[in-house]
Structure 1
Amino acid sequence: MYRRRLLGAVAASGAVAAAGCLGGEDGTYEFDAEPARVPDAALSEAGYEGEGPQSFEIEQTFEVAGIEGRVSATSWVASYENPERASSLLVASTPNATVAGQSVNPLVRADGAELLRRLLEQGGSGGVDGGSVGDLEEVGTETRTILESETTVTTFATEIRFEDVGDAPVDTEGSVPALIHVATVEHGEDVLVLVGVHPRAIEEGETQGALMEAVEH
């Protein structure tokens, strides 16, 4: 139960995949991202498992620089997990579209904490699978080479709180201290968002960083 709930705090991804897909000119426009994934060999070596990228559609109106329109976009998301270590990795790709020369993708404009908050809170508290994510404290950064680009991976400390803790290794308030690693990288015409989560008591950051570096798009 604990593993699934902790993973669900980040991997409730249907809405995440659709978070930033705007673009085109005046009228109605369609954009498609290319799926991104971690190769099977890298997953197997790290002890992770998961399904291939799944597509999601979003339609909404927008207004930028006096231009109004409706956009239809296809994004992709893949979720991987190591159940034995209660750890997960989310790989999302979304179109990097512009209107009047200005990006209208909120994932491009967001800073690290805002980006992470948007990902974790998509769909409201129900997206946390029985719990809620506490305050986010940036505790470090490192540089990784992802898709041949030098990319900053930011680490946040937080607590995931559950109403029914069951047999989870939590404190007296029913919360699991966790670390969350987040990176964004532009590749081709898309923006990729990579998010890893694991209990703070488990040393998993190096493994998740290596998986991020192995992403293909």
Structure 2
Amino acid sequence: MSPKRLVATLAVVALVVTSGCLGVLTGDEALSFESEPATADASVASNAGYSTNGTQELEINRSFDVAGQERRVVASNHLTTYEKKMDLGLFGEAKLGVFSVISTPAVEIAGQTLNPIGDYSNDQLVGLVRSRYQGLSNVEQVSSRNVQMLGQTANVTKYSATARVEGQQIDVYVHVTKVRHEGDFIIAVGVYPQQLDGEEDNILELMRSVEHPSEA
């Protein structure tokens, strides 16, 4: 699964859908919203065999016609991705798991939260991934459980799916959860091959370890 495709899906949908709510706004300056970075605890990630290249800032910049005037809205999201790889010698490296943490601003104006991601269920979130990412199919809910993330009870939904990796079909599990924390929505997604024993525990532990805001 491509983390960039995932965060682009979530961020663009959030901004485009809320455009209908922006008609009440006027002014010449661009409206800017920025999330704080979110990451997994470095020691937890290392112990689970995951590594990261750091946090990316992904800016969505759109212009809308508001009361006959063009109004620009800028939303800055943050994505931190962790990967677990194994060296297969002559066959190169194989990606055994991906864990991504996405922070997207709530976009709150006059006490109203305009980012629709806040109302999305886990089924809707994984549905966005499925509808935008061509390599993921046959997504079915398997189970649901609660974990503590950022001091809150987060509902984690587990899905079975089929992923296309380098032309091969692989059965995977997908774990999705979301909470609101410090003015941002934090979305955590873990994906790994179904035959990888014990990886569910690693993904849940990574979710429990999420820090926000973090020093990205």
Q: Structure 1-normalised TM-score?
A: 0.77
- Report if aligned partners of 2:39, 2:101 keep a CA contact under 8 Å in 1: yes
Question: Which residue pairs with 1:86 in the alignment?
Answer: 96
Q: Give the whole-Å Cα distance in 2 for the aligned partners of 1:63 and 1:35.
A: 30
Identify the residue that residue 177 of structure 2 maps to in structure 1.
Answer: 183
CA contact (8 A) 1:17 1:56 kept: no
The one-letter code sitting in structure 2 at the alignment partner of 1:192 is I
Q: Specify which of 178, 181, 192 is matched with residue 198 of structure 1.
A: 192
Q: What secondary structure, in the 3-state scheme, does the structure 2 residue paired with 1:57 have?
A: strand
Structure 1 residue 18 corresponds to structure 2 residue 28: no
Q: In structure 1, what is the Cα distance between the partners aligned to 2:63 and 2:84? A: 38
Q: Quick one: which of 38, 43, 46 aligns to 1:44? A: 46
Change (3 A) 1:158 1:52: same
Query: How many Å apart are 1:16 and its aligned residue?
Result: 4.4
Please give the secondary structure, in 2, of the residue aligned with 1:50.
Answer: strand
Report how many aligned residue pairs link the two structures.
Answer: 191
Q: Is the Cα contact below 8 Å between 2:10 and 2:128 reproduced in 1?
A: no
1:128-161 Cα distance to aligned partner (Å, 9 max, x none): xxxx211321110111100000110011111113
Identity of aligned residues (%): 28
RMSD: 2.7
For structure 1, the 5+ residue unaligned runs are 1-7, 126-131, 166-174
Corresponding residue to 2:147 among 144, 149, 172? 144
Please give the per-residue CA displacement for 1:99-149, whole angstroms capped at 9, x wherever unaligned: 565432232122212211223554x53xxxxxx211321110111100000
Q: Which residue of 2 aligns with 1:208?
A: 203
Which protein is bigger by CA-based radius of gyration? 2
User: 2:156 is matched with which residue?
Assistant: 153
More moved, 183-192 vs 108-117: 108-117
What is the identity, as a one-letter code, of the residue corresponding to 1:185? Answer: V
SS of equivalent to 1:83: strand
Q: Does 2:128 align with 1:96? A: no
Maintained 8 Å contact 2:107/2:114: yes
State the SS of the aligned residue for 2:31.
strand
Determine the C-alpha separation between the residues in 2 that align with 1:36 and 1:73. Answer: 16
Task: Indicate the SS of the match to 1:34.
Answer: coil
Would you tell me which structure has more strand in proportion to its own residues? 2
| Deviation of the 1:202 alpha carbon | 1.5
State the SS of the aligned residue for 1:205: helix
Using the alignment, how far apart are the partners of 1:179 and 1:146 within structure 2?
20
Q: Which of residues 113, 121, 145 is equivalent to 1:111? A: 121
The one-character-per-residue Cα deviations of 1:160-207 (angstroms, maximum 9, x if unpaired) are 135733xxxxxxxxx211100000010010000100001111131111
- For 1:99 and 1:61, locate their aligned partners in 2 and report how far apart those are by CA, in whole Å: 18
Q: Which runs of 4+ in 1 moved over 2 A?
A: 8-14, 16-25, 60-64, 98-104, 119-122, 161-165
- Rounded to whole Å, the distance in 1 between the matches of 2:45 and 2:111 is 38
Q: What TM-score does the superposition give when structure 2 sets the normalisation length? A: 0.77
Residue aligning to 2:90: none
